[in-house]
């Protein structure tokens, strides 16, 4: 009996340590099946901002908007994610779970009203537009400058 306990107890302890370590690795490095198909069923369409056509995924529901681009490894170079806002507001965003920096394009009534360039994925401070908006577009950092998007540009979002 003592011999069996000398073998069984260390095996149980080792298995518990492996299980706990695996949980922490999955949690802190965001790996596993739960992150494979994040927001993969979103509506896809192409919008125009100024003269630039942008393929977007539309985060329409509250849960889709809460998740947004979080935990994704990247965003296609010329693509974006559109967040329609049902009741125009100064809706806040933050970079929780983001793996890359973004530019933000704020819209109201079919026009660009503000942009925020190169928002760092390491800054977890919430930020807000200066006025109520009815949609927000997230694109890769540098996109706004490289495509000449500016306040006043028309959009068919």
Q: Is residue 87 part of a domain?
A: yes
> 66 and 26, same structural domain?
no
How is residue 154 annotated by DSSP?
Answer: B
> 104 and 129, same structural domain?
yes
**Average pLDDT of the residues in 20-39:** 51
> 93 and 132, same structural domain?
yes
> 90 and 18, same structural domain?
no
CB burial of residue 81 (10 Å; 0-12, 13-18, 19+): buried
> 46 and 25, same structural domain?
no
Three-state DSSP at 127 gives: strand
**Average pLDDT of the residues in 7-13:** 68
**Average pLDDT of the residues in 141-156:** 98
Name the residue range of residue 22's domain: 2-31
pLDDT at 105 over 90: yes
pLDDT at 4 over 70: no
pLDDT at 31 over 50: no
Q: Is residue 157 part of a domain?
A: no
**Average pLDDT of the residues in 20-30:** 57
CB–CB of 48/105 below 8 Å?
no
Using left for φ > 0, alpha for ψ between -120 and 50, and beta otherwise, residue 110 falls in left
32-76 pLDDT, tens digit per residue, is 433 334 567 899 999 999 999 999 999 999 999 999 999 999 999
Structural domain count, the chain: 2
Per-residue model confidence (pLDDT) at position 41 = 87
d(CA 69, CA 100): 10
């Amino acid at each position: 009996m003592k011999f069996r306990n000398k073998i069984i107890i260390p095996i149980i302890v080792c298995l518990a340590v492996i299980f706990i370590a695996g949980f922490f690795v999955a949690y802190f490095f965001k790996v596993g099946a739960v992150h494979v198909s994040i927001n993969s069923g979103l509506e896809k369409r192409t919008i125009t901002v100024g003269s630039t056509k942008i393929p977007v995924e539309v985060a329409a529901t509250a849960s889709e908007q809460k998740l947004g681009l979080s935990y994704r490894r990247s965003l296609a170079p010329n693509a974006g994610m559109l967040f329609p806002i049902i009741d125009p507001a100064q809706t806040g965003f933050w970079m929780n779970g983001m793996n890359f920096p973004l530019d933000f394009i704020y819209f109201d009534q079919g026009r660009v009203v503000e942009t925020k360039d190169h928002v760092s994925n390491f800054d977890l401070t919430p930020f807000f537009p200066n006025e109520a908006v009815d949609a927000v577009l997230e694109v890769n950092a540098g996109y706004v400058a490289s495509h000449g998007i500016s306040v006043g540009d028309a959009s068919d979002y």
